[in-house]
Amino acid sequence: MLAALALAAGAPAAAQAPARAAAVQRPLGELSASFQELSRTVHQSVVKVTAVGYRQLEEDESEEPGVAARQQSSGSGVIIDGSGYLVTNAHVVIGAQRVQVTLPAPASGGRSALRPLGRVVRAELVGLDLETDVALLKVNEKNLPALPLADSDTVEQGQIVLAFGSPMGLDNTVTMGVVSSPARQLKPDDPMIYIQTDAPINPGNSGGPLVNTEGSVVGINTLILTQSGGSEGIGFAVPSNIVSNVVDQLRKSGRVVRGDIGVTTQTITSSLAAGWKLPQEWGVVIADVEPEGEGETAGLRVGDVIHSLNGKVMENARQFNVNVYRPVIGETVALEILRGKRRLDVTVKVVERHDEASTYADLASREENLIPEFGIFAVDLTPALREQVGPVRSEQDGVLVAARHADGPLLEDGFRAGDVIYSVNRTAVKSASELRALLKKMKSGDPVAVQVERAGRLRFISFELP
């Protein structure tokens, strides 16, 4: 009798155990199913990028100067526009003469666990931006499944994210993690910030998307910090808002234009504030003013503290630089500055930031100066340009590289704005017309060794004509 009562008393508890297990399994199953559906959707927009090109051998690799070796690299990319536009990392495609994209194959609906191989298509480089490590590609395809770019300013620490790509060449790979930091700066006052994540990212993931649980791209995977060479849970992605801005400019002009007002700024630190007896331990201070630049013309001085730009309080140098980049070239910005105990209002004109890519760009036009075989704009090295370029070692006439263009070969150590071309395959070229005539006699696949002078040093750039 007692035994029967004991069994009866234990029966409800035994019956409750499966019920509790089922209650736990139900939300876990729903969570898993949602991730599976998300992976299937995102996968259709993720591609493998293969770049083939040449690199110049180092001195210890070859006894002869100007020898180039064939190289191949691969990474990932994501379709952002159904008309054929894709985003990847600049470091994946720089140095390439040919870029190919493997589009994912549609689901077969069969029983095999292995997916069918994707279709390989040729891709055109629309443009790239080394500062953000973003490149825009175009394939001749229509109605491709594209992923939307999210607002990366809304990304928060602890948010679940998934990284897609082809790590180590393994196509269609997904990893999951959280946002470790929504805005990580790797160097002080660097205008670039990254989304840091612990989602495993490995070589080959570069250029792939980091997506949120809604399937929108919050970043483009770009680099890792590692001691072993593999993923150690410290990966970084270019925020989608930065990607969006760069892509818009690359689509319009093939390059990124950034504003400048002729000053160098630094973030105020507590020690700097203490040494200068500043009223605050944060903000932006002007460390240098470019002679005859827009800042000097407007009356800015070294040591001025920038309180606000267009009414927006500036908290650090990175924020200030980004806000200076954005205005249209030729517009003015209103600065409120602190000079000692005085508060001043200063208006400064924004000009294009002159760097390697833009210093001589205004000298050339596509119709008259494009050398498509080299992917450059070339102009004759006139006496006036000799003075502008600076001391040139040779008295021989040559050709000045005014700017690079997305067309033509992409070389790891390729042409740069300001290079002076003296010869091609030991044949002297004294003008852009001579260079163009010489190249007309050559055909695709012919090797070329170009002698150039860069910053006072002679060097060879060698590759095969595309």
Domain extents in the chain:
152-253, 259-352, 361-464
Count Cα atoms within 13 angstroms, Cβ side, for 6.
3
DSSP per-residue letters across 352-380: E---TTTTTGGG--HHHHEETTTTEEEEE
Q: What is the model's pLDDT at position 1? A: 43
**Res 4 pLDDT > 70:** no
Q: Which of 212-216, 244-248, 321-325 has the lowest mean pLDDT?
A: 321-325
- Between CA 351 and CA 335 the distance in angstroms is 16
Quickly tell me which residue has 């002080």 as its tokens. Answer: 188
- Between CA 422 and CA 163 the distance in angstroms is 47
Q: What is the model's pLDDT at position 227? A: 64
Residues paired with 4 in a beta bridge: none
pLDDT per residue as tens digits for the range 345-369:
999 999 887 654 444 544 544 456 7
pLDDT per residue as tens digits for the range 110-133:
666 667 778 899 999 888 888 888
pLDDT per residue as tens digits for the range 9-60:
455 555 566 656 555 567 788 888 888 899 999 999 999 999 876 555 555 6
Same fold, 259-352 and 361-464: yes
Select from 2.40.10.10, 3.40.190.10, 1.10.10.10, 2.115.10.20 the CATH code of 152-253: 2.40.10.10
pLDDT per residue as tens digits for the range 216-229:
999 999 988 766 66
- Between CA 185 and CA 355 the distance in angstroms is 22
Name the 3-class secondary structure at 415: coil
How many C-beta atoms surround the C-beta of residue 345 within 10 A? 9
Q: How many residues does the chain have?
A: 466
- Whole-number average pLDDT of the chain: 81
How many C-beta atoms surround the C-beta of residue 412 within 10 A? 16
Contacts of 132 (CB under 8 A, 6+ apart): 90, 192, 238, 242, 243, 246, 256
Enter the tokens of residue 291. 């002679």
How many C-beta atoms surround the C-beta of residue 72 within 10 A? 10
Active site (catalytic) residues: 91, 133, 206
Q: Which of 3-7, 149-153, 208-212, 238-242 has the lowest mean pLDDT?
A: 3-7
Specify the amino acid at residue 306: I
Please tell me the pTM assigned to this model.
Answer: 0.67
**Res 406 pLDDT > 80:** no
Among 221, 283, 223, residue whose Cα is nearest residue 76: 221
- Between CA 355 and CA 361 the distance in angstroms is 10
Enter the tokens of residue 329. 């070239």
- Between CA 40 and CA 56 the distance in angstroms is 41
- Between CA 93 and CA 103 the distance in angstroms is 17
**Res 390 pLDDT > 80:** no
Between CA 51 and CA 60, with CA 57 as vertex, the angle to 5 degrees is: 145
Higher-confidence position of 97 and 74: 74
CATH homologous superfamily of 259-352 equals PDZ domain (2.30.42.10)
**Res 382 pLDDT > 60:** yes
CATH T-level topology, domain 361-464: Pdz3 Domain (2.30.42)
Burial class (CB within 10 angstroms; exposed 0-12, middle 13-18, buried 19+) of 183: middle
Among 152, 168, 162, residue whose Cα is nearest residue 205: 168
Q: What percent of the chain has pLDDT over 70?
A: 79
Among 139, 43, 147, 145, residue whose Cα is nearest residue 84: 139
**Res 8 pLDDT > 80:** no
Strands (E) in 130-283, as ranges, are 134-139, 160-165, 173-184, 194-197, 209-211, 217-224, 235-239, 259-260, 263-267
| Average pLDDT estimate for 416-432 | 87
Q: What percent of the chain has pLDDT over 90?
A: 33
| Burial per residue of 248-278, b for 16 or more beta-carbon CB atoms within 10 angstroms, e otherwise | ebbeeebbbebbbbbbebbbbeeeebeeeeb
Question: How many helices (H) and strands (E) in the chain?
Answer: 9, 27
| Average pLDDT estimate for 123-145 | 90
